[in-house]
């Protein structure tokens, strides 16, 4: 039979507000000796705090809390319900939480002579590693060198091959002896084969650079220099012709070798170059000028009444005035300017290649030109193929007009 509830008449038992029973019950729950709940482990007594005023609202505890003791208003807890007991995990958690704090000073022994609670002490710090041994001097270095694979430790070399990476690093970092240092220095030197290969490579590179410079000189600088010399010679001739009277009856023999006496124009190829006596490579051709055949191959002059006016010039390098004469076609014009006259020739035929020994192309009636009777002819000769002197390229022309210089330029030079 349960007790009467608080809302019963006043003649029944008094409510917990009128008595201090509820407070006493709550205080008893904090005492492990008076806790009526079975199976609760003892806890470390909590430090005392000043008493707080009693509040009307119920006191909240952890999510899992103990049930209050029997009271006049509530029935006694049923003992046959084991599910109301605290779970072992929660009890263990409460027990661990209660024993974690480390007490600075051991508590006073209990009055009833019970066992004292021993506080938990912090673990001692780990021991410091021993200091590394210092270098033992020359003896230690020699010992380390022998252990790292010296010539005296050859028998132990294969056995040490299975050592761990730490041992290998220590052996590599160990100082070498004098013998080992000399052996390492000799091993670091290049072999004679390596030195020879390096020297050969440097020689090839040097030769390649020199060849490149030579090609640049031949294909570029010689042209620049020859153009300067040829233009200077042509300007000097024109200045002489304009400043003094010239003898129209001069013969080829009166010109010294290398002396300029005329200027050739090829309008189609945009060529203007002075003509000098002789075909000397150094004195005439390499200076960018056109050479007139003299000596045993002496040919006619432009002002001669009959004959073959034959000239030669470079096709490549040194001004290359005849480089593109293979582009001349029948009907194209070539003008030769002297001190008193302009001689205009018309191209009639050409010979693509002939041996250098074929001098018949220079005769007064050139062989292979198609001319059959004496006349005033023009023959241009140069090397072929390009950049070689294997054969000769021949171009022939015939005089078409003779115009006094005092009357001005011919139509071929003014675009007529």
Give the tokens for residue 348. Answer: 């009639």
Catalytic residue among 292, 314, 318, 376: 314
277 CB contacts (<8 Å, ≥6 apart)? 252, 255, 256, 257, 258, 259, 261, 284, 291, 292, 294
Give the tokens for residue 89. Answer: 């995990």
Rounded Cα gap, residues 172 and 179, in angstroms: 16
Q: Tokens 């304009």, residue?
A: 242
3-state secondary structure of 335: strand
Count CA atoms closer than 13 A to 59's CA, side-chain side.
16
* Residue 38: predicted pLDDT: 54
**For strand 341-354 and strand 307-312, is the pairing parallel, antiparallel, or unpaired?**
unpaired
Q: How many residues does the chain have?
A: 416
320 CB contacts (<8 Å, ≥6 apart)? 223, 314
Catalytic residue among 292, 315, 318, 383: 383
H or E element: which one contains 266? Answer: strand 260-266
Give the tokens for residue 211. Answer: 């060849």
383 is catalytic: yes
19 CB contacts (<8 Å, ≥6 apart)? none
pLDDT digit string (tens) for 125-168? 667 766 655 555 777 777 777 776 554 444 444 444 445 555 55
282 is catalytic: no
* Residue 370: predicted pLDDT: 92
* Residue 341: predicted pLDDT: 93
Q: Tokens 């509040």, residue?
A: 55
Greatest alpha-carbon span in the chain: 175
322 CB contacts (<8 Å, ≥6 apart)? 271, 290, 312, 313, 314, 315, 380, 382
- Cα 276–chain centre separation: 56
Give the tokens for residue 35. Answer: 């806790």
Rounded Cα gap, residues 83 and 75, in angstroms: 18
Cα dihedral 382, 316, 237, 341 sign: positive
342 CB contacts (<8 Å, ≥6 apart)? 335, 336, 401, 402, 403, 404, 405, 409, 410, 413
Rounded Cα gap, residues 375 and 379, in angstroms: 12
- Cα 25–chain centre separation: 88
3-state secondary structure of 309: strand
H or E element: which one contains 354? Answer: strand 341-354
- Cα 237–chain centre separation: 58
Q: What are phi and psi of 119, to 5 degrees?
A: -70, 155
Rounded Cα gap, residues 259 and 111, in angstroms: 144
Domains and CATH numbers, the chain: 19-45+62-74+85-95 (no CATH), 226-413 (2.40.260.10)
Q: Whole-number mean pLDDT of the chain?
A: 75
55 is catalytic: no
Burial (CB count <10 Å: 0-12, 13-18, 19+), residue 277: buried
Reading the chain (416 residues) residue by residue, the pLDDT tens digits are 455 555 555 555 555 455 566 666 666 655 555 555 555 555 555 556 556 655 555 555 555 555 555 555 555 555 555 555 555 544 444 444 445 555 555 555 555 544 555 555 556 666 776 665 555 577 777 777 777 655 444 444 444 444 555 555 555 555 668 888 878 877 788 888 888 899 999 999 999 999 999 888 888 888 888 888 888 888 888 888 877 655 544 444 456 777 889 999 999 999 999 999 999 999 899 999 999 998 888 899 999 999 999 999 999 988 899 999 999 999 999 999 999 999 999 999 999 999 999 999 999 999 999 999 999 999 999 999 998 989 999 999 999 999 999 899 999 998 75
Catalytic residue among 142, 323, 392, 403: 392
Rounded Cα gap, residues 140 and 136, in angstroms: 5
| DSSP one-letter code for 249 | T
* Residue 223: predicted pLDDT: 85
3-state secondary structure of 223: helix
**For strand 391-404 and strand 341-354, is the pairing parallel, antiparallel, or unpaired?**
antiparallel
Which CA distances in Å does 188 have to 83, 149, 181, 185, 276?
85, 18, 10, 5, 67
Q: What are phi and psi of 186, to 5 degrees?
A: -65, -35
* Residue 134: predicted pLDDT: 55
């Amino acid at each position: 039979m349960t007790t009467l509830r608080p809302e019963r008449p006043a003649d029944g038992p008094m409510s917990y507000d009128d008595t201090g029973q509820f407070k006493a019950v709550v205080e008893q729950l904090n005492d492990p000796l008076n806790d009526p709940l079975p199976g609760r482990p003892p806890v470390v007594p909590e430090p005392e705090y000043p008493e707080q005023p009693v509040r009307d609202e119920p006191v909240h505890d952890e999510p899992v809390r103990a049930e209050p003791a029997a009271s006049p208003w509530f029935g006694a807890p049923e003992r046959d319900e084991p599910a109301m007991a605290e779970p072992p995990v929660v009890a263990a958690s409460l027990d661990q939480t209660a024993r974690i704090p480390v007490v600075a000073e051991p508590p006073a022994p209990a009055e009833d002579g019970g066992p004292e609670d021993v506080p938990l002490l912090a673990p001692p710090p780990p021991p410091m590693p021993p200091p590394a041994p210092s270098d033992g001097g020359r003896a230690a270095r020699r010992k380390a060198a022998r252990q790292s694979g010296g010539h005296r430790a050859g028998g132990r070399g294969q056995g040490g091959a299975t050592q761990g990476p730490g041992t290998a690093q220590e052996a590599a970092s160990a100082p070498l002896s004098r013998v080992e240092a000399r052996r390492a220095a000799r091993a670091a030197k290049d072999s004679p084969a390596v030195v020879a290969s390096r020297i050969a490579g440097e020689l090839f590179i040097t030769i390649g650079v020199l060849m490149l410079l030579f090609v640049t000189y031949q294909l570029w600088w010689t042209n620049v220099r020859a153009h300067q010399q040829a233009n200077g010679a042509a300007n000097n001739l024109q200045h002489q012709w304009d400043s003094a009277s010239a003898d129209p009856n001069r013969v080829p023999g009166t010109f010294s070798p290398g002396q300029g006496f005329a200027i050739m124009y090829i309008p189609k190829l945009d060529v203007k170059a002075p003509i000098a006596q002789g075909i000397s490579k150094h004195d005439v051709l390499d200076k960018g000028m056109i050479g007139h055949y003299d000596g045993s191959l002496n040919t006619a002059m432009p002002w001669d009444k009959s004959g073959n006016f034959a000239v030669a010039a470079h096709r490549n390098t040194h001004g290359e005035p005849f480089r593109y004469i293979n582009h001349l076609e029948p009907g194209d014009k070539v003008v030769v300017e002297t001190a008193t006259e302009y001689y205009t020739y018309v191209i009639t035929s050409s010979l693509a290649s002939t041996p250098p020994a074929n001098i018949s192309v220079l005769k007064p009636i050139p062989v292979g030109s198609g001319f059959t009777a004496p006349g005033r002819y023009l023959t241009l000769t140069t090397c072929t193929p390009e950049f070689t002197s294997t054969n000769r390229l021949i171009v022939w022309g015939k005089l078409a007009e003779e115009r006094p210089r005092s009357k001005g330029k011919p139509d071929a030079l003014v675009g007529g």
